[in-house]
Chain A
Amino acid sequence: EIVLAQSPATLSVSPGERVTLSCRASQTVNTNLAWYQQRPGQSPRIIIYDASTRATGIPDRFSGSGSGTDFTLTIAGLQSEDFAVYYCQHYKNLPPMYTFGQGTKLEI
Protein backbone atom coordinates (compact mmCIF):
# COMPACT_ATOMS: atom_id res chain seq x y z
CA GLU A 1 0.00 0.00 0.00
CA ILE A 2 1.31 3.40 -1.00
CA VAL A 3 1.73 5.95 1.77
CA LEU A 4 1.91 9.68 1.06
CA ALA A 5 3.94 11.83 3.44
CA GLN A 6 3.30 15.56 3.33
CA SER A 7 5.60 18.20 4.76
CA PRO A 8 5.53 20.39 6.63
CA ALA A 9 2.39 19.71 8.65
CA THR A 10 1.85 23.43 9.15
CA LEU A 11 3.33 26.39 7.32
CA SER A 12 3.03 29.95 8.61
CA VAL A 13 3.19 32.44 5.77
CA SER A 14 2.13 35.94 4.84
CA PRO A 15 -0.11 37.10 2.02
CA GLY A 16 1.85 37.77 -1.14
CA GLU A 17 4.51 35.17 -0.37
CA ARG A 18 5.41 32.17 -2.50
CA VAL A 19 5.15 28.78 -0.84
CA THR A 20 6.08 25.23 -1.77
CA LEU A 21 4.38 22.19 -0.26
CA SER A 22 5.88 18.73 -0.48
CA CYS A 23 4.37 15.27 -0.96
CA ARG A 24 6.51 12.13 -0.98
CA ALA A 25 5.19 8.70 -1.99
CA SER A 26 6.50 5.49 -0.41
CA GLN A 27 6.92 4.00 -3.90
CA THR A 28 6.73 5.37 -7.40
CA VAL A 29 3.34 6.63 -8.54
CA ASN A 30 4.51 8.04 -11.90
CA THR A 31 2.43 11.23 -12.26
CA ASN A 32 -0.77 9.75 -10.79
CA LEU A 33 -1.01 12.46 -8.18
CA ALA A 34 -3.53 15.18 -7.43
CA TRP A 35 -3.73 18.06 -4.99
CA TYR A 36 -6.88 19.15 -3.18
CA GLN A 37 -7.58 22.33 -1.22
CA GLN A 38 -9.87 22.28 1.80
CA ARG A 39 -10.88 25.59 3.32
CA PRO A 40 -12.20 25.62 6.90
CA GLY A 41 -15.68 24.11 7.10
CA GLN A 42 -15.74 23.25 3.39
CA SER A 43 -15.42 20.17 1.25
CA PRO A 44 -12.17 19.44 -0.57
CA ARG A 45 -11.68 20.97 -4.04
CA ILE A 46 -9.47 19.61 -6.80
CA ILE A 47 -6.55 21.93 -7.61
CA ILE A 48 -4.04 19.87 -9.60
CA TYR A 49 -4.15 16.43 -11.25
CA ASP A 50 -1.68 14.38 -13.27
CA ALA A 51 0.93 16.03 -11.02
CA SER A 52 0.97 19.31 -12.93
CA THR A 53 -2.36 19.95 -14.69
CA ARG A 54 -4.52 22.66 -13.17
CA ALA A 55 -8.16 21.77 -12.74
CA THR A 56 -10.84 23.89 -14.37
CA GLY A 57 -11.11 27.36 -12.88
CA ILE A 58 -7.92 27.16 -10.81
CA PRO A 59 -5.81 30.33 -11.07
CA ASP A 60 -2.34 30.08 -12.55
CA ARG A 61 -0.66 31.05 -9.28
CA PHE A 62 -1.08 27.35 -8.43
CA SER A 63 1.41 24.99 -10.04
CA GLY A 64 2.35 21.36 -9.48
CA SER A 65 5.45 19.43 -10.39
CA GLY A 66 7.15 16.12 -9.84
CA SER A 67 7.01 12.50 -10.88
CA GLY A 68 7.92 9.17 -9.36
CA THR A 69 8.00 9.70 -5.60
CA ASP A 70 8.54 13.44 -5.04
CA PHE A 71 5.98 16.12 -5.77
CA THR A 72 5.48 19.78 -5.00
CA LEU A 73 2.62 22.23 -5.03
CA THR A 74 3.69 25.85 -5.40
CA ILE A 75 1.45 28.82 -4.75
CA ALA A 76 2.83 32.14 -5.97
CA GLY A 77 1.55 35.34 -4.42
CA LEU A 78 -0.60 33.92 -1.62
CA GLN A 79 -4.05 35.43 -1.31
CA SER A 80 -6.31 35.33 1.72
CA GLU A 81 -8.52 32.62 0.22
CA ASP A 82 -5.50 30.31 -0.20
CA PHE A 83 -5.11 29.78 3.54
CA ALA A 84 -6.41 26.24 3.83
CA VAL A 85 -5.30 22.64 4.18
CA TYR A 86 -3.81 21.00 1.10
CA TYR A 87 -3.89 17.25 0.54
CA CYS A 88 -2.05 15.22 -2.03
CA GLN A 89 -3.77 12.13 -3.39
CA HIS A 90 -2.57 9.13 -5.35
CA TYR A 91 -5.05 7.42 -7.68
CA LYS A 92 -4.77 4.09 -9.43
CA ASN A 93 -6.82 1.55 -11.35
CA LEU A 94 -7.00 -2.21 -11.25
CA PRO A 95 -8.03 -2.35 -8.54
CA PRO A 96 -9.11 1.23 -7.94
CA MET A 97 -7.51 2.86 -4.95
CA TYR A 98 -7.33 6.46 -3.84
CA THR A 99 -4.90 7.39 -1.08
CA PHE A 100 -4.59 10.78 0.59
CA GLY A 101 -1.77 12.34 2.54
CA GLN A 102 -2.28 13.84 5.99
CA GLY A 103 -2.26 17.40 4.70
CA THR A 104 -0.33 20.63 5.03
CA LYS A 105 -2.07 23.54 6.71
CA LEU A 106 -1.25 27.02 5.46
CA GLU A 107 -1.82 29.57 8.19
CA ILE A 108 -1.32 33.29 8.33
Chain B
Amino acid sequence: QVQLVQSGPEVKKSGASVKLSCKASGYNFNNHYIHWVRQAPGQGPEWMGMIKPNNQRTSLAQSFQGRVTMATDTSTSAVYMELSGLAPEDTAMYYCARGATFCPSADCYTIFDSWGQGALVSVSS
Protein backbone atom coordinates (compact mmCIF):
# COMPACT_ATOMS: atom_id res chain seq x y z
CA GLN B 1 0.00 0.00 0.00
CA VAL B 2 1.04 3.60 -0.52
CA GLN B 3 3.01 4.96 2.43
CA LEU B 4 4.64 8.30 3.06
CA VAL B 5 6.87 8.35 6.15
CA GLN B 6 8.14 11.70 7.34
CA SER B 7 11.07 12.69 9.51
CA GLY B 8 10.59 13.65 13.13
CA PRO B 9 9.75 16.86 14.96
CA GLU B 10 12.07 19.84 14.85
CA VAL B 11 12.68 22.72 17.23
CA LYS B 12 14.31 25.81 15.74
CA LYS B 13 15.14 29.40 16.52
CA SER B 14 14.05 32.36 14.44
CA GLY B 15 16.19 32.84 11.38
CA ALA B 16 17.23 29.20 11.14
CA SER B 17 16.37 26.71 8.41
CA VAL B 18 14.68 23.34 8.66
CA LYS B 19 14.94 20.40 6.27
CA LEU B 20 12.22 17.76 6.33
CA SER B 21 12.13 14.43 4.57
CA CYS B 22 9.35 12.25 3.22
CA LYS B 23 10.05 8.67 2.15
CA ALA B 24 7.62 7.04 -0.23
CA SER B 25 6.86 3.38 -0.78
CA GLY B 26 4.20 1.13 -2.30
CA TYR B 27 3.96 2.80 -5.72
CA ASN B 28 6.06 4.02 -8.65
CA PHE B 29 7.80 6.99 -7.07
CA ASN B 30 8.49 8.71 -10.40
CA ASN B 31 4.85 8.82 -11.48
CA HIS B 32 3.43 11.18 -8.89
CA TYR B 33 4.14 14.69 -7.73
CA ILE B 34 4.80 15.07 -4.02
CA HIS B 35 3.20 18.11 -2.40
CA TRP B 36 4.02 19.84 0.86
CA VAL B 37 1.19 21.23 2.96
CA ARG B 38 1.47 22.88 6.35
CA GLN B 39 -1.11 23.41 9.04
CA ALA B 40 -0.67 25.93 11.81
CA PRO B 41 -2.37 25.13 15.14
CA GLY B 42 -6.15 25.46 14.79
CA GLN B 43 -5.92 26.56 11.16
CA GLY B 44 -6.79 25.10 7.81
CA PRO B 45 -4.08 23.49 5.67
CA GLU B 46 -1.90 25.69 3.48
CA TRP B 47 -0.33 24.42 0.26
CA MET B 48 3.38 25.17 -0.03
CA GLY B 49 4.46 23.61 -3.29
CA MET B 50 5.12 20.44 -5.25
CA ILE B 51 7.91 18.51 -6.93
CA LYS B 52 7.98 15.83 -9.62
CA PRO B 53 10.47 13.17 -8.52
CA ASN B 54 11.85 12.10 -11.87
CA ASN B 55 12.79 15.54 -13.18
CA GLN B 56 12.84 17.70 -10.01
CA ARG B 57 10.29 20.04 -11.62
CA THR B 58 9.02 22.28 -8.85
CA SER B 59 6.16 24.71 -8.43
CA LEU B 60 5.84 26.81 -5.29
CA ALA B 61 3.04 28.86 -3.80
CA GLN B 62 3.82 32.53 -4.19
CA SER B 63 4.07 33.07 -0.44
CA PHE B 64 6.92 30.55 -0.19
CA GLN B 65 8.97 31.52 -3.23
CA GLY B 66 12.49 32.40 -2.22
CA ARG B 67 12.17 30.54 1.10
CA VAL B 68 11.46 26.95 0.11
CA THR B 69 13.68 24.49 -1.69
CA MET B 70 12.54 21.02 -2.68
CA ALA B 71 14.55 18.07 -3.91
CA THR B 72 14.17 14.35 -4.50
CA ASP B 73 16.41 11.30 -4.32
CA THR B 74 15.01 8.68 -6.65
CA SER B 75 17.48 6.06 -5.40
CA THR B 76 15.80 6.11 -1.99
CA SER B 77 12.33 7.39 -3.01
CA ALA B 78 12.76 10.35 -0.70
CA VAL B 79 11.63 13.94 -1.01
CA TYR B 80 13.16 16.83 0.90
CA MET B 81 11.75 20.24 1.71
CA GLU B 82 13.88 23.00 3.21
CA LEU B 83 12.30 26.15 4.64
CA SER B 84 14.64 29.01 5.44
CA GLY B 85 14.27 32.24 7.39
CA LEU B 86 12.08 30.63 10.03
CA ALA B 87 9.84 32.81 12.20
CA PRO B 88 7.48 31.87 15.04
CA GLU B 89 4.56 32.01 12.60
CA ASP B 90 6.13 29.07 10.74
CA THR B 91 5.28 26.86 13.71
CA ALA B 92 3.05 24.22 12.20
CA MET B 93 2.60 20.60 11.28
CA TYR B 94 4.19 19.96 7.92
CA TYR B 95 2.79 17.21 5.71
CA CYS B 96 3.90 15.63 2.47
CA ALA B 97 1.12 14.30 0.27
CA ARG B 98 1.01 12.34 -2.96
CA GLY B 99 -0.68 13.94 -5.92
CA ALA B 100 -3.19 11.81 -7.82
CA THR B 101 -4.39 12.98 -11.21
CA PHE B 102 -7.90 12.61 -12.55
CA CYS B 103 -9.43 13.85 -15.80
CA PRO B 104 -13.17 14.60 -15.59
CA SER B 105 -13.03 16.26 -19.01
CA ALA B 106 -10.34 17.41 -21.41
CA ASP B 107 -8.55 18.93 -18.41
CA CYS B 108 -6.80 16.96 -15.70
CA TYR B 109 -6.49 17.91 -12.05
CA THR B 110 -4.67 16.73 -8.97
CA ILE B 111 -5.91 15.81 -5.53
CA PHE B 112 -3.95 14.56 -2.53
CA ASP B 113 -4.74 10.89 -2.10
CA SER B 114 -2.13 9.83 0.48
CA TRP B 115 -0.54 11.84 3.24
CA GLY B 116 2.46 11.44 5.50
CA GLN B 117 1.99 11.41 9.24
CA GLY B 118 3.21 14.98 9.56
CA ALA B 119 6.25 16.60 11.17
CA LEU B 120 5.84 19.27 13.81
CA VAL B 121 8.14 22.25 13.42
CA SER B 122 8.29 24.58 16.40
CA VAL B 123 9.99 27.96 16.02
CA SER B 124 10.81 30.21 18.94
CA SER B 125 12.15 33.73 18.96
Contacts and interface: CB of A to CB of B under 8 A. Distances in A.
B16 interface: no
Interface in A81-100: 87, 89, 91-93, 95-100
A91 B110 contact: yes
Among A56, A93, A96, the most chain B Cβ lie within 10 Å of the Cβ of: A96
Given A32-B109, A46-B112, A100 B45 contact: yes
Contacts of B43: 102
Interface string B88-125: 00000001010000101001111111011110000000
Interface residues of B, number: 25
A5 to B, nearest CB: 11
A53 B111 CA distance: 12
Interface in B36-57: 37, 43-47, 50
Given A31-B104, A49-B102, A95-B59, A100 B111 contact: no
Majority secondary structure, B binding face: strand
A34 interface: yes
Nearest to B103: A50
Interface residues of A, number: 27
Contact of A97 (B61, B97, B107, B115): B61
Interface of A: 31-32, 34, 36, 43-46, 49-50, 53, 55-56, 87, 89, 91-93, 95-103
Interface of B: 35, 37, 43-47, 50, 59, 61, 95, 97, 102, 104, 107-113, 115-118
